Amino acid sequence: MIPVVAMAGDAVATATAASLVTTVTDMAGTMLTTMAANPILGIFIGVPIVGAIVGVVGILMRRRH
């Protein structure tokens, strides 16, 4: 499903944003449940996530100086 924002007004954009947040939250819950059930998968999923977070923090820290 691809969210579509119409030009009808803020109500549609808000509904789409809420739907997107719900979808991402559900996906994160599923990922955490899978990682808890299979610790080996946690390594393959967790390491790239940590790498991405460290990269973003590094970029943000460089911009502040």
The total domain count for the chain is 1
pTM of the shown model = 0.44
Residue 4 within any structural domain of the chain: no
Element (H, E) at 11: helix 10-37
Model confidence pLDDT, tens digit, residues 33-46 = 877 788 787 788 77
pLDDT band at 61 (very low <50, low <70, confident <90, very high): confident
User: Token digits for 8?
Assistant: 């009808």
Q: What are 18's two structure tokens?
A: 């809420």
CA Rg, the chain, in Å?
Answer: 17
Q: Which residues constitute the domain of residue 32?
A: 10-64
Is position 32 within any domain? yes
Residue 38 lies in a domain: yes
Question: Does residue 18 sit in helix, strand or coil?
Answer: helix
Q: What distance in Å separates the CA atoms of residue 18 and residue 21, rounded to the nearest whole number?
A: 5
